[in-house]
Amino acid sequence: LCKNMTIKQGDTFPDVQVFVSNNGAPKAASTKELFQNKKVVLFGVPGAFTPACSNSHCPSFVRSVSELKNKGVDLICCTSVNDIFVLDVWAKAQKSEGKLLMLGDGNGDLAKALGLDFEGRAVGLGVRSNRYVLYVDNLVVKQVLVEDKPSDVKKSTAESLLAKL
């Protein structure tokens, strides 16, 4: 499914406009500005409120915040090809407020820039992000863990990443 994956270990993270929530309103943000001079964990999910994302993937990061911070991680971000309004409500449902920064990628620009987008039209999803986790240190990609298919939640969990840090 990720035949076009372009991001790899050692690459510079692309500067892409994403959206964060600013008191419930969308605010444009640059990945370069967000990630520069920081150790960042970015995990991508196919969609907020979808079963694997809500029941397994996101909760693995919510419960692992302390362990990730103890490994020197400054910022833990979640992205999806959803608007920031949806991600804001999902963050509340996941009890991740103050723990994860949601990055809305409503147009799929970030997923495409990373080469981690997939076509989900066959099941009514349109273009989506594959399921993955990246570890980025001052804009340099240090780890790339991508699932073989978006419904899998094995390689891209917080626990899988922690084992490699």
For the annotated catalytic residues, the residue numbers are 53
Rounded alpha-carbon distances, angstroms, from residue 148 to 1, 33, 91 = 7, 30, 26
Report which of 124, 109, 137 is spatially closest to residue 11, judged by C-alpha positions: 137
Contact 160, 133 (CB under 8 A): yes
What residues have CB less than 8 Å from 111, skipping those under 6 apart? 44, 79, 81, 105, 117, 127, 128, 129, 130
